[in-house]
Homo-oligomer: A and B are copies of this chain.
Amino acid sequence: MSLQFQIHSTAGSARRATLALPHGAVETPVFMPVGTQATVKAIPQHLLEELDVRILLGNTYHLYLRPGHETIRRLGGLHRFMSWGRPILTDSGGFQVFSLSDLRKVTDDGVAFRSHIDGSSHFFSPEHSMDVQIALGSDIAMAFDECTEYPADRSRARASLDRTLAWAQRSRDHFEAHKHGAPWAQRAAPSVQRSENGADASSDPLQGKIPSLFGIVQGGMFADLRRESAERLVEMDFPGYAIGGLSVGEPRELTREMIAATLPLLPAGKPRYVMGVGYPDEIAEYARMGVDMMDCVLPTRAARHGLLFTSEGRLNIKNRQYAEDHNPPDPACNCLVCRRYTRAYLRHLMQAQEPLSAVLNTLHNLAFYLETMRKVRNDVAANGKPQQPHLADAPMKR
């Protein structure tokens, strides 16, 4: 079993569902906090659990470079390495290779690049991206894609789309051949599931489970190319689909338009993931349009710069006006930061460059994002039509 996606109710295009993954269940629509380097910056894992984070995103490019995917494999995989027992989705490394590395050279075979850390030379192909993600042991791996830059003209967007589709097929072929090599899938395999006294450890919750691979729709800002990308990708039959190449500098209306043009072309019974979005009102809007999964560095990165998201809008906690403000960051929020600390204190921590500033600001922003999704889920459950309970099991073809 790779994943199960059970839709409980729908309201318009929005769906309230449960995504069952090897490491646990995720209630969707879901926002996935980003844990780039095997950590959601500044937050201990037990506090992520207390926030009810159900799934994290890890960055393949960063983990490949440091500490290295083979190191993580030898330490039992990313879940064990970072002590996170719930699901993990990894990106393909493609986006960071294009945005962070130096001297990259792209061919149909893959991407040669130099590390942003030490300048060392590396090469990523679809096959290598799969090997790295399997070594990390993510619950959901992503096909290696070329994230089309913005702006890109039609011929550039088409070439990038063609390359991404060819890479999707290679990603899929390699992933299918090697996915049982995920560290936890190996541990849970029957051959190593006999304890010393010979008892069958068939109760291992990972028994019989395998990771899944999602395909990624590209096509720049051209609705017809998005359509073509989606249709050809769906023919390959992935257990879930992402819409990539958005939130790369284009106007917000264009992001929305591309999502709206693409969503109806993706199978209704499978999870749909929009990568790299967005502001709180955006993720709520996209969820209502039928997006099931989203991730973004915004809540965590903005927090470290003192930008807090609240029910009253954005709040720059560095501002002098908060120096003696005894109110919580968001009076309508019930997170552990808002229950306990004042704006004046958070401003002081920022002014004094105290590390606790990043911890508390991030905790609040994550709580706000998670609550935003919780409200959408509750709305869909309360106002939507119940679905006949059925399991839209989506195994990949062999």
Contacts and interface: CB of A to CB of B under 8 A. Distances in A.
Nearest to A65: B352
Contact of A75 (B340, B342, B352): B342
25 contacts: A37-B349, A37-B352, A37-B354, A38-B345, A38-B348, A38-B349, A38-B352, A39-B349, A39-B354, A41-B354, A42-B356, A43-B356, A44-B359, A44-B363, A66-B348, A67-B323, A67-B344, A67-B351, A67-B352, A71-B324, A75-B342, A81-B345, A82-B345, A83-B340, A355-B358
Contacts of A75: 324, 326, 342, 344
Given A336-B46, A360-B44, A67 B348 contact: yes
A355 B41 contact: yes
Number of copies: 2
Contact of A83 (B62, B345, B354, B359): B345
Contacts of A115: none
B359 A42 contact: yes
A375 interface: no
Nearest to A68: B323
A66 to B, nearest CB: 6
A122 B342 CA distance: 28
A279 interface: no
Interface of A: 37-39, 41-46, 62, 66-67, 71, 74-76, 81-83, 323-324, 326, 336, 340-342, 344-345, 348-349, 351-352, 354-356, 358-360, 363
A62 to B, nearest CB: 8
A345 to B, nearest CB: 6
Contacts of A74: 324
A71 B354 CA distance: 18
Per CB-CB distance, the 10 closest pairs between chain A and chain B, nearest first, are A42-B355, A37-B352, A39-B356, A67-B348, A83-B340, A39-B354, A355-B358, A83-B341, A41-B355, A75-B344
Given A41-B355, A74-B324, 9 more contacts: A38-B345, A38-B348, A41-B354, A42-B354, A42-B356, A75-B344, A81-B344, A83-B340, A83-B342
Nearest to A40: B356
A66 B324 CA distance: 13
